[in-house]
Structure 1
């Protein structure tokens, strides 16, 4: 793979051993197993099965530690209505899945409002049975954000204001 396209082969593979091999082919040295906490990309690949994504971080629950907002960007996680959005919380040396919301469209916004101590999010919602493009407000219910932005408890929001996290 000396044609400079080793990264393409790596991006298409999800198994940790293959990713390690790709790192060696790229000339990158990896740390010995167990010496460092898993990176977001390691966690996404091994625990969520997500190989391609866009992500942002923001303190959603006011504890001073940023949570990770990760939107899958791979065919196995996307359909006519959009792609799956994951909210992850740092848990020691790894991450904990807070919620998974299917059929989300961009942009993903951090709203100024809070519900149950967590910041509300806004996602695009159209396709997959929603005829007119709209934005949906996702409120934290004490355990997770809604699993689908096209049905309650997610609610339509006409003009969301807040910070765009993922475009």
Structure 2
């Protein structure tokens, strides 16, 4: 079975493992920092419990809850640190390091965070007070999956990457002492058997693909003058870390 078909099949399985819809746009509560663009339910988001052993394969355990207000603050601090424009984003959650607490996975979709080959994915680890960023991965397209395999005690991620002349493919993003690998476009193709048992964190959506295609149309090729729009940044240097 082709990798991309598997990714679509895994991402389509909502249920207990489809966490993206539970925490989508969790930065838009009243306490959300100014400038963020998203939509969220009221109150803490409760994640689905770990499935029983006899209920089928459960490669990743979800436990606890994520406070949308605290995550929103962490996202805003990260945005300011990176000196980027406010951006829409998609969110999901999974216990990636096995400590019983969910990590927040955030895929920024604004033009200041995307290139033709994908956008910025940031993994935030929960702390006693709030969240801290542990990894920033560039050139990422959804879907984002949590694989049963792991490195240095953290679950591997499987993401799509490519575009702008590069083939779109599913790759494995592994964790090391420095965090998750920083650039998805240079990573190896994901193993089909591993991908087939991976759990969905952030699903692919037609709206995201449409937005990314629009971003790509406004990103100039190297040597060309970038298109400018009010409040949004476009960059011709595709080596820049989004």
TM-score (norm 1): 0.72
Change (3 A) 1:63 1:18: closer
Work out the CA distance in 2 between the residues paired with 1:54 and 1:17: 17
Alignment partner, residue 96 of structure 2: 60
Larger % of strand: which?
A: 1
Q: CA deviation at 1:45?
A: 1.9
Whether the aligned pair in 1 keeps the contact of 2:74 and 2:132 (CA below 8 Å) is no
CA distance in 2, matches of 1:51, 1:107: 19
* Structure that is richer in helix per residue: 2
1:166 aligned residue (188, 192, 202): 202
Root mean square deviation, CA, Å: 2.4
> Which of 129, 133, 153 is residue 117 of structure 1 equivalent to?
153
Counterpart Cα distance in 2 of 1:103 and 1:45: 21
Query: Aligned-pair distance for 1:67?
Result: 0.6
SS of 1:76's equivalent? coil
Aligned residue number for residue 180 of structure 2 = 145
Cα distance in 1 for partners of 2:87, 2:127 equals: 21
Deviation at 1:110, TM superposition (A): 0.6
Q: Distance in 2 between matches of 1:114 and 1:17?
A: 37
Alpha-carbon distance between aligned partners in 1 of 2:164 and 2:72, rounded to the nearest angstrom: 28
Distance 1:17 1:121 in 2: 30
Calculate the TM-score normalised by the size of structure 2. 0.51
Q: Which of 131, 136, 144 is residue 108 of structure 1 equivalent to? A: 144
Match of 2:79 in 1: 48
Aligned residue for 1:75?
Answer: 111
Higher-RCO chain (CA-CA 8 Å, sequence separation at least 6): 2
Provide Cα deviations, 1:91-139, integer angstroms capped at 9, x if missing partner.
Answer: 2212111100011011000111111110000110111552x22101001
Q: Could you tell me how far apart the structure 2 residues matched to 1:52 and 1:100 are?
A: 16
CA–CA distance in 2 between the matches of 1:84 and 1:128? 16
Conserved? CA contact 2:70–2:131, under 8 Å: no
Between the two proteins, the alignment pairs up a number of residues equal to 135
The answer for the alignment partner of 2:129 in structure 1 is 93
Question: Aligned pair in 2 of structure 1 residues 121, 38: CA closer, same or farther (>3 Å)?
Answer: same
Unaligned segments of structure 2, at least 5 residues: 1-27, 37-66, 81-85, 204-242
